[in-house]
Structure 1
Amino acid sequence: MRESSPFSCSITTGEASRASLNTDSSRREAYAGVIFDFNGTLFWDTPLHNRAWDAFLERHGIFLSDAEKTRVIHGRNNRTIFEDLLGRRLAESELADLIEEKETVYRDRCRRESPGLAPGAAPFLDFLADRGIPRTIATASGRANVKFFFEFLGLTRWFSFPDVVWDDNRIQGKPAPDYYLAAARKLALSAAVCLVFEDSFAGIRAAQNAHAGRIIIVDSTGQDYRAFGHQVITDFSQVDRSVLSSHPATPSAPSG
């Protein structure tokens, strides 16, 4: 029997029920664009991030449980995370050094453990690309990590690097709507006609605050998402592709 990996999953009856949530066959809006969160959504790297954070936190005399990491770290931008952890305002140079310290550990773990994209993600991305459906990524990762992901995972097959919205230490972090509003503008669309995929609580709230047309939650860690009331999937093959428009004809987002 093949040993299970932290990045693989099996679908239980309960999970299958959750995957069917909010998939009313009478509801057939055609969404014009797709915006993906990345970490924990397209790339199931939560265990790698947690171990990298453990190494960083130990060096700095800080302990967080996995539940506390979910609340304090996941889905938030770097400035907010590090300033909350250290309890003080950070200069740009110190923040950059702290980010690089942690992310160097994380990228090394990615290279050694080589997790791929989420289950069903590559065929779904091929589907979007083949039909010319606009798509991009809105991630709280910094530019260096995004560049690493593009090279390590071959993301240029599906995404344009300049269209990605990442943490530039200026954009307001999730749950503010800024990431998803900026991503929709990159696609020349309104967030209201975009389908968003997210996994973190902060990210789901950010998509809600951006008034995204539809939100699908990607569950890679077995969290309880019932309070949100959105469809939950564990594999991108569970996405109803008929809700996506191959030839979007919707008004673009305002430039302001």
Structure 2
Amino acid sequence: MLGLPAHVTACLFDLDGVLTQTARVHNAAWRATFDEFLRRRAAANDEPFTPFDPDEDYRRFVDGRPRYDGVRSFLSSRDIVLPEGSPDDPPEAETVHGLGNCKNVRLLQELRTHGVDAYPGSVRYLRAATDAGLRRAVVTASANGGEVVAASGLAELLEVRVDGLVARTEKLRGKPEPDTFLAGAERLGVAPGSAAVFEDALAGVAAGRAGDFGYVVGVDRVGQADALLAHGADIVVRDLAELIGNREPGA
């Protein structure tokens, strides 16, 4: 028993915060990037510096979103408008793409220096899902999804990966739109109603609900269970291991 309804035959897992312990690294990279920009802007405009909030700002504006969408979302919350620029902008450019590229440089430095760990409970769940014959995909907004999956040792347990590079190539809208999860289900050959979405981000559970998936599991690593339920989760757990051995919902 894996705590899923009987009609679910596939699992669509978010990566950061659900399978791997990279949410902290992403948060730190966003904070360093935005604070450097905000300090520079405050000094140039003779305004007070208000730093990026690694709790509220991270959860509301960047967690679970594609990188450049996260930049736009946070800047909009501060009534800041920057030129879009282009994906090739250097990390010091004061454009949406420049800030996003700066964040990515910081993230990759951290990953390559310290690596990335998978949550033990998530590894147990992935192995149990494999043994139970459930199909398995990872769906992440990160353009570094392949690198993170490989570094965490999870590649052999996942059949399909839909990441930020796939989304860009296929012009898939980011979460909270359901496009990437729908692409994951399609690649596994299952209907959305037969797939369960596993997400720790508010935008992610909203995407699961918007796509009419068969079940949405919220993973609460930071004490936001009520918000995950409000955004569309059917159930919230602190760790995927809690689902192992559980009876299916309604049984």
TM-score (norm 1): 0.75
- Provide structure 2 residue ranges, at least 5 long, that are not aligned to the other structure: 40-50, 90-95
Q: Would you say the 8 A contact 1:121–1:235 is kept in 2?
A: yes
Equivalent position of 2:206 in the other structure: 205
- Whether 1:55 and 2:32 are equivalent positions in the alignment is yes
Between 193-202 and 103-112, the greater mean CA deviation after superposition: 103-112
The DSSP-based 3-state class of the residue aligned with 1:220 is coil
- State how 1:134-153 maps to structure 2 within 5 Å: 134-142=135-143, 145-153=144-152
Q: Would you say the 8 A contact 1:44–1:117 is kept in 2?
A: yes
Report the CA distance shift for 1:153/1:115 in structure 2 as closer, same or farther (over 3 A).
closer
Residue by residue over 1:90-111, the C-alpha shift from the partner in whole angstroms, topping out at 9 and shown as x without a partner, is 3232266544431232233234
- State how 1:163-242 maps to structure 2 within 5 Å: 163-167=160-164, 168-169=167-168, 170-225=171-226, 226-227=229-230, 228=232, 230-240=234-244
Equivalent position of 2:47 in the other structure: none
Partner letter of residue 231 of structure 1? I
- Whether 1:78 and 2:67 are equivalent positions in the alignment is yes
Q: Would you say the 8 A contact 1:119–1:236 is kept in 2?
A: no
Partner letter of residue 45 of structure 1? T
Equivalent position of 1:117 in the other structure: 118
Alpha-carbon distance in structure 2 between the residues aligned to 1:191 and 1:70: 26
Counterpart of 2:85 (choices 86, 90, 108) is: 90
CA positional deviation for 1:135: 0.7
The DSSP-based 3-state class of the residue aligned with 2:38 is coil
Report the CA distance shift for 1:113/1:91 in structure 2 as closer, same or farther (over 3 A).
closer
CA positional deviation for 1:136: 0.2
TM-score (norm 2): 0.76
Report the CA distance shift for 1:44/1:150 in structure 2 as closer, same or farther (over 3 A).
closer
Alpha-carbon distance in structure 2 between the residues aligned to 1:105 and 1:78: 13
The DSSP-based 3-state class of the residue aligned with 1:125 is helix
- Number of residue pairs matched by the alignment: 215
Counterpart of 1:64 (choices 52, 59, 64) is: 52
The DSSP-based 3-state class of the residue aligned with 2:151 is helix
Stretches of 4+ aligned residues off by more than 4 angstroms: 95-98, 111-115, 240-244
Equivalent position of 1:4 in the other structure: none
The DSSP-based 3-state class of the residue aligned with 1:60 is helix
CA positional deviation for 1:224: 3.6
- Whether 1:35 and 2:12 are equivalent positions in the alignment is yes
Alpha-carbon distance in structure 1 between the residues aligned to 2:139 and 2:111: 20
Q: Would you say the 8 A contact 2:85–2:97 is kept in 1?
A: no
Residue by residue over 1:133-181, the C-alpha shift from the partner in whole angstroms, topping out at 9 and shown as x without a partner, is 2110111101xx1121122112222113xx2111233321111111111
Q: Would you say the 8 A contact 1:31–1:243 is kept in 2?
A: no
Residue by residue over 1:62-88, the C-alpha shift from the partner in whole angstroms, topping out at 9 and shown as x without a partner, is 632120121110111122122343624
- Provide structure 1 residue ranges, at least 5 long, that are not aligned to the other structure: 1-22, 245-256
Structure with bigger RCO (C-alpha 8 Å, 6+ apart): 1
Report the CA distance shift for 1:80/1:90 in structure 2 as closer, same or farther (over 3 A).
farther
Alpha-carbon distance in structure 2 between the residues aligned to 1:164 and 1:77: 15
